[in-house]
């Protein structure tokens, strides 16, 4: 299933719902040529929602052949409006938006709504609406205000829904997506967990070959599971796993992570750098900061921790005698991260928000040389947890709360003076 990204608020959720139905999905830029989708063998196309107007100057570019290339299409929100607009209908902004949960009335028989009772509760979030229906389309469902909430082509497998079937607030949304995948696109639910795990192992072996791999284990779920997967794919002699304890971890975190990986046979080198971090300084815009243990501002803390992490990790890597030309770097990048990247590619407006705390000189060199391996790129967070259990990691580790690298240092509430409450003469 190809998901054309029109800048969707729920793009990752569409992808997730399709995969829950055991169908492989790929989120691709809205401008992807139809010929490329046909050549790649996609069985269906979902056009996501988006913030722009189909008639506006900032509307995402798209190949109009997607509506005539023979691949079934489901347009969601913006996608439905685009379908109607492209086929000659009228889309316009109404005086009031439809925002919230509504019950839509199914008025025309459609395979898309097979088995779904009318009315159906859905989530609507749109300012533009379909005002005039394209000649080759027909209305399938209406909102309480009489606005088209679902359309279908009279002869071709082209469908559109104004609501969001991917969210839980649309109670029949999963059934609708199932109808599109299996009854319209004739797909089979065979994208299972076991095949994806083996695919990740094959990916690691295929990319790495006979080389070794370095992974910086933060203490979080993703990097720990990534390390365990590397061990299963390559064996411990070709895996270098390093964890830097910056002193701002959760209680016994470093020990627990090391014990968890040791339980499956992988040795984790733990670098105890607590005092170094407590007393660390750095420069921001040419000005030296105070020591970390005296700093209150979260952004300053993050910068000190990030720079110190880079310095400590580079020292440890040099101590291993690692040549960037002979090793790969493994990262626990998840599918949502790649989906967000795809969205930026689609809009061509990618911006750097912050430098990651493990962006060392070696990391940059490996990335430039194409020696970065990301075996979890096909997984969402909950799927990574299941993979971790399958790899033998303790549930206490794989089901823990997500926890970014700077850790508690950023989340500790600080004040320049102690909080106090004046004693009142009387308490009411």
Inform me whether the pLDDT recorded for 365 exceeds 80. Answer: no
Q: How far apart are the first and last CA of the chain?
A: 64
Instruction: Kindly indicate the confidence band of residue 428, based on its pLDDT and cuts at 50, 70 and 90.
Output: very low
Same domain, 12 and 96: yes
Same domain, 298 and 216: yes
Name residues whose C-beta falls within 8 Å of residue 107's C-beta, 6 or more positions apart in sequence: 139, 140, 141, 142
Same domain, 178 and 219: no
pLDDT (mean) for 341-345: 46
Same domain, 217 and 284: yes
Contact 42, 1 (CB under 8 A): yes
417 is a domain residue? no
pLDDT (mean) for 31-44: 94
418 is a domain residue? no
What angle is formed at CA 17 by the lines to CA 45 and CA 401, rounded to 5 degrees? Answer: 140
Name residues whose C-beta falls within 8 Å of residue 390's C-beta, 6 or more positions apart in sequence: 193, 197
148 is a domain residue? yes
> Where a domain ends, among 120, 154, 184?
184
> Where a domain ends, among 184, 205, 239?
184
**Residue 24 CB coordination number (10 Å):** 15
Instruction: Kindly indicate the confidence band of residue 427, based on its pLDDT and cuts at 50, 70 and 90.
Output: very low
DSSP assignment of 60-120:
PP--GGGGTSS--EEEETHHHHHHHHHTT-EEEEEEEEEEEEEEEEE-S--GGGTT--SSE
Note the pLDDT tens digit of each residue in 134-160: 999 999 999 988 889 999 999 999 999
Residue 300's pLDDT is: 85
236 is a domain residue? yes
416 is a domain residue? no
Residue 350's pLDDT is: 37
Same domain, 10 and 144: yes
Note the pLDDT tens digit of each residue in 199-257: 889 999 999 998 888 888 877 788 888 988 999 999 888 888 888 888 888 888 888 88
44 is a domain residue? yes
Residue 358's pLDDT is: 52
Q: Which residue has the higher pLDDT, 421 or 174?
A: 174
> Where a domain ends, among 150, 184, 218?
184
Q: 27 φ, ψ to 5°?
A: -90, 120
Active-site hit among 77, 185, 226, 239: 77
Q: What is the CATH number of the domain that holds 352?
A: 3.40.50.620
Inform me whether the pLDDT recorded for 293 exceeds 80. Answer: yes
pLDDT (mean) for 391-418: 71
Catalytic site residue 77? yes
150 is a domain residue? yes
Name residues whose C-beta falls within 8 Å of residue 62's C-beta, 6 or more positions apart in sequence: 4, 30, 31, 82
Same domain, 280 and 378: yes
The angle, 0 to 180 degrees and rounded to 10, between the axes of the packed helices 221-234 and 381-390 is 40
Inform me whether the pLDDT recorded for 346 exceeds 50. Answer: no
Catalytic site residue 226? no
Note the pLDDT tens digit of each residue in 181-198: 999 999 999 887 677 788
Q: Of how many residues is the chain composed?
A: 428
Residue 252's pLDDT is: 85
203 token code pair = 């990916």
Same domain, 249 and 105: no
163 token code pair = 């609501």
Q: How far apart are CA 216 and CA 203, in angstroms?
A: 20
Inform me whether the pLDDT recorded for 320 exceeds 60. Answer: yes
Instruction: Kindly indicate the confidence band of residue 34, based on its pLDDT and cuts at 50, 70 and 90.
Output: very high
pLDDT (mean) for 350-360: 45
Same domain, 164 and 198: no
Least confident of 61-70, 87-96, 325-334, 418-427: 418-427
Q: What is the value of pTM for the model shown?
A: 0.67
Q: What is the CATH number of the domain that holds 68?
A: 3.40.50.880
Same domain, 137 and 251: no
The three-state (H, E, C) secondary structure of 355-399, written as one string: CCCCCCHHHHHHHHCCCEECCCCCCCHHHHHHHHHHCCCCHHHHC
307 token code pair = 């720079």
Contact 122, 163 (CB under 8 A): yes
Contact 151, 138 (CB under 8 A): yes
Question: Average pLDDT of the chain?
Answer: 83
Same domain, 261 and 388: yes
Active-site hit among 164, 243, 357, 380: 164
Residue 73's pLDDT is: 96
pLDDT (mean) for 162-171: 92
Residue 377's pLDDT is: 79
pLDDT (mean) for 30-58: 91
Same domain, 228 and 163: no
Contact 104, 119 (CB under 8 A): yes
426 is a domain residue? no
Same domain, 137 and 220: no
pLDDT (mean) for 80-88: 93
How many domains does the chain divide into?
2
Residue 193's pLDDT is: 67
- DSSP-derived letter for residue 206 is H
Single out the residue of 392, 370, 372 nearest to residue 224, CA to CA. Answer: 392
Active-site hit among 98, 126, 153, 166: 166
Instruction: Kindly indicate the confidence band of residue 368, based on its pLDDT and cuts at 50, 70 and 90.
Output: confident
Least confident of 64-68, 96-100, 128-132: 96-100
Q: Which residue has the higher pLDDT, 322 or 269?
A: 269
Catalytic site residue 166? yes
Domain, as residue range, for 132: 2-184
């Amino acid at each position: 299933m190809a998901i054309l990204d029109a800048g969707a608020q729920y793009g990752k959720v569409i992808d997730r719902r399709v995969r829950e139905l055991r169908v492989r999905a790929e989120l691709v830029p809205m401008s992807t040529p139809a010929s490329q989708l046909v050549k790649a063998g996609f069985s269906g196309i979902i056009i996501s929602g988006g913030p722009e107007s189909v008639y506006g100057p900032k509307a995402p570019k798209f190949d109009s052949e997607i509506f005539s290339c023979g691949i079934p299409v489901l347009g969601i929100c913006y996608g439905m409006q685009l379908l109607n607009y492209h086929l000659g209908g009228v889309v316009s902004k109404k005086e009031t938006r439809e925002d919230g949960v509504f019950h839509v009335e199914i008025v025309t028989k459609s395979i898309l709504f097979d088995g779904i009772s009318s009315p159906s509760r859905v989530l609507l979030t749109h300012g533009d609406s379909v005002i005039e229906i394209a000649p080759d389309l027909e209305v399938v469902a209406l909102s309480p205000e009489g606005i088209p909430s679902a359309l279908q082509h009279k002869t071709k497998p082209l469908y559109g829904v104004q609501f969001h079937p991917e969210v839980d607030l649309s109670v029949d949304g999963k059934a609708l997506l199932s109808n599109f995948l299996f009854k319209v696109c004739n797909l089979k639910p065979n994208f299972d967990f076991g095949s994806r795990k083996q695919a990740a192992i094959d990916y690691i072996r295929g990319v790495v070959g006979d080389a070794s791999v370095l992974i910086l284990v933060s203490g979080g779920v993703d990097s720990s599971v990534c390390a365990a997967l590397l061990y299963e794919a390559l064996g411990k002699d070709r895996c270098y796993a390093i964890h830097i304890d910056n002193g701002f971890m959760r209680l016994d975190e470093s020990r627990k992570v090391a014990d968890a990986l040791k339980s499956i046979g992988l040795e984790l080198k733990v670098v105890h750098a607590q005092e170094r971090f407590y007393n660390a300084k750095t420069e921001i815009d040419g000005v030296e900061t105070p020591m970390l243990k005296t700093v209150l501002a979260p952004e300053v803390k993050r910068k000190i921790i990030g720079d110190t992490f880079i310095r400590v990790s580079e020292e440890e890597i040099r101590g291993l005698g690692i040549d960037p030309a002979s090793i790969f770097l493994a990262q626990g990048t998840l599918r949502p991260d790649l989906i967000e990247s795809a969205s930026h590619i689609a809009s061509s407006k990618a911006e750097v928000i912050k430098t990651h705390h493990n962006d060392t000189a070696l990391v940059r060199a490996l990335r430039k040389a194409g020696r970065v391996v990301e075996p979890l790129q096909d997984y969402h967070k909950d799927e990574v947890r299941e993979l971790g259990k399958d790899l033998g990691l303790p549930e206490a580790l794989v089901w823990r709360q997500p926890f970014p690298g700077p850790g508690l240092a950023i989340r500790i509430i600080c004040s320049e003076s102690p909080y106090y409450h004046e004693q009142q003469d009387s308490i009411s």
